[in-house]
Structure 1
């Protein structure tokens, strides 16, 4: 294990992250809200800390192995999440405890969107912008950004890329070089963010709200600058824009790259992709069920309003964004639980969405169907095909392994929450929301997480990390084999 090289890289990345503090400091200067000092102080603190990690180890530039990459990713996300808590602690107007500050920071960076802060409408613009900015960086993964713009790292970036990008098959690259791949991802990400902000602004949002909500929409994060979330704007147009960009962001970015690289003349790449087709089918099914039940129970006064609420909530929850326009926890019958379970599926692999990813659910379904066929015809040989290509048993085993580890982590986190005194419904929904990087839950966490016990918040922070790093990236560090030479 190249520990000194790892410390050097973490130091460089921490120094890079320190510069993000200047953006909210500039916002504080523009709006004169008096919140700039904590961000300037955090900037210098992180810059110095990064320097002291880098300087003694600056000559160690050895090629990293795969397990070094996993350790860097985990270290950086834990260090970054901890560093991101500093402005919340230093800002008097936020008035948050240590547990709340860390919870809010990790929730933003992992794009979970669960908040412990109430009274958002009265907070300084700088802290509101900072929360959204953290989500935007966390959406694609700041390490991918660092690999793209910091060739000074002098490492094989594929080790970091494979540990960071979600999905069951991580060895595919869109371009021959990893740095070019990371740049391509961020160009697409930035383009979508600008387009989303422009659409929000044209629909009636202020420039500040448009930029902030574009950050959390493209990142599929769910943070808002208002306590009422998207309900604050009470606009059908804004709701529809949010739905469109959430769906776009929940699609595999390699598909976006393929279409963009063709100059937009080959949208057929989307239709040909089996995961995309499954994703759209799931979205249509969820919307249809929600819409029909809301109509049957006369939950809303008009067909149009029922359509708008059903579409927005089904897309927002199933893509793990967590924006709300209504109290969906109060919807009739099984709809709240159905939407919560839909977050287990989440977005497509290679997207900014959370959950287990559509491709894994598709493969598990195909594997289940194959086992049924084998019971009927024990001697027959069946292969699992996706997109006309037969998949190896290695991929299927990896998916089953992920599902098993996911279930184990879920159960352990839920039991730990119940041990803190939390009721079963709240514990179940809290773990489901944080492990899937969703945000809103049911029971005591339907609105916010500010009232739960501090011990429960730390458990949920761990759950967020497991979800963001796709279980194995973090779980592998707890195995003795990982640390053996």
Structure 2
């Protein structure tokens, strides 16, 4: 383990992150909310900590190994959340405890969107902006952005990119060099954010609200500047814009890259994962809207607009505050379950990811066929690509650990004093990076106990790092030489 290089990378990345703490200062000055000193102080502390990590080892040079990449990834998300909580702790207008500040920062940077803060409409504009900024940087992945500058330090970046995106597609690169890959992903992410912000502005939002909501929409984070979230604007057009950009951001960014490069939409529907994703959007939308109409929950117009918005919000795991928890019969649980499917691989969506769900389904079908024809050789394909048994086994391993960790954290929350519905939905909402749950956490996590909040912070990080990247650090084999 190259601890000197790890310290060097963490120091540089932390100093980079400290610069983002200066961005809300103009917002504070523009709206006269007197929080500019909060961000200056947070910047100074964060930059000093990064300098302290980097300065003693600044001349160290070595290639990062795979184990180093996993450690840097997990440590940086943890460290980033810790220092990202400083504005919440120091802000005028907030009186958050240390636990609540950490929870809000972890929720922001992992794009979960669960919040312990109420009374958003009265909060300082700079703090509200900062929450959305955290989600925007978390959406693209701080590590993926940072690999663009790692070659300047004499450090290869592919290990970090692989650690950030584990799974069947982890070895794919859009361009021959990982640096170019990171730049391409960031460019697409930025273009989508600008397009979303302009659409919100044209639909009637102010520039401030349009920027904030574009950040949380494209990142599939779900934070808002209002307690009633996106419904505050009472606009069907805004709901449609939000729904479309949530679903676009839930698709694989590699597909966006190829469509942009080749100027052809055929790449979307030539991709098996996207077709699977689109089928869930279609079927889920029809069931949701149809059941709302059948039960006369809304009139026809509202059933279409509100029903599809809630479907998009949960499937993409954006989790904008919505009404589905109050809907009749099975519908709240059905929509909540869709969050476990989540978005596509290499997207800003959370959940298990569509490609894994598709592989699990195909493997299940293959096992049924093997009962009928025990000696048959039945390959699994995603589109025209043959998937090796080792990849299928890895997906089953991921799913097994996902379920085990879910059950473990669910039992711990029950032991902490939460009721069954609250505990079940809180873990699900955090490990899928959805945000809002049911029961006590339908709109806010402020009322639950501190022990539960720390468990849920772990759940959010586990979901953001897709289980293995974090759990590997807890194995003795990882630390052996």
- Once residues 154 and 237 of structure 1 are traced to their aligned partners in structure 2, the CA distance between those partners, rounded to angstroms, is 49
Partner of 2:95: 95
Which one of the candidate residues 397, 400, 411 is aligned to 1:404?
A: 400
Partner of 1:280: 278
| Partners of 1:115 and 1:152 in 2: CA distance | 37
Unaligned runs of 5+ in 1: none
Runs of 4+ in structure 1 off by over 2 angstroms are 149-153, 165-169
SS of match in other structure, 2:179: helix
**Which residue does 1:294 correspond to in 2?**
292
Residue 234, structure 1, aligned to residue 251, structure 2: no
In 2, Cα distance between equivalents of 1:154 and 1:311: 48
Q: In the alignment, what sits opposite 1:185?
A: 185
Deviation for aligned residue 1:167: 4.0
Q: Distance in 2 between matches of 1:235 and 1:149?
A: 42
Matched, 1:429 2:425: yes
**1:443 matched to which residue of 2?**
439
Indicate yes or no: 2:431 matched with 1:459: no
| TM-superposed deviation, 1:26 | 1.4
- Does 1:386 find its partner at 2:382? yes
SS in 2 for 1:82: helix
User: Which position in structure 2 is the counterpart of 1:308?
Assistant: 305
Tell me, yes or no, if the aligned pair for 1:167 and 1:350 is still in contact at 8 Å.
no
Asked if the contact 2:151/2:157 (under 8 Å) is kept, the reply is: no
Deviation at 1:338, TM superposition (A): 0.5
Q: Quote the offset at 1:390 in angstroms.
A: 1.5
8 Å Cα contact 2:436/2:442 also seen in 1: yes
Distance 1:22 1:9 in 2: 21
Q: Which residue of 2 aligns with 1:30?
A: 30
Residue 4 of structure 1 and its aligned partner are, at CA, apart by 0.9
Which residue pairs with 2:128 in the alignment? 128
Contact 2:310 2:323 in 1 (8 A): no
Deviates more, 1:287-296 or 1:361-370: 287-296
TM-score (norm. length: structure 1): 0.98
**Equivalent residue of 2:276, what SS?**
helix
TM-score of the superposed pair, with normalisation by structure 2: 0.99
Taking the aligned partners of 1:403 and 1:146, their CA distance within structure 2 comes to 29
The partner residue of 2:358 within 351, 355, 362 is 362
Question: Following TM superposition, by how much is the alpha carbon of 1:150 offset from its aligned partner in structure 2, in angstroms?
Answer: 4.4
Question: Which residue of the other structure, out of 263, 267, 270, is the alignment partner of 2:268?
Answer: 270
- Identify which of 306, 311, 318 aligns with 1:321: 318
- Offset at residue 328 of structure 1 (A): 1.3
Q: CA deviation at 1:56?
A: 0.2
CA RMSD of aligned residues (A): 0.8
Structure 2 gap segments, 5+ residues each: none
Separation of aligned partners in 2, 1:382 and 1:246: 36
Alignment check: 8 A CA contact 1:131 1:223 kept? yes
User: What is the 5 A alignment of 1:20-169?
Assistant: 20-165=20-165, 167-169=167-169
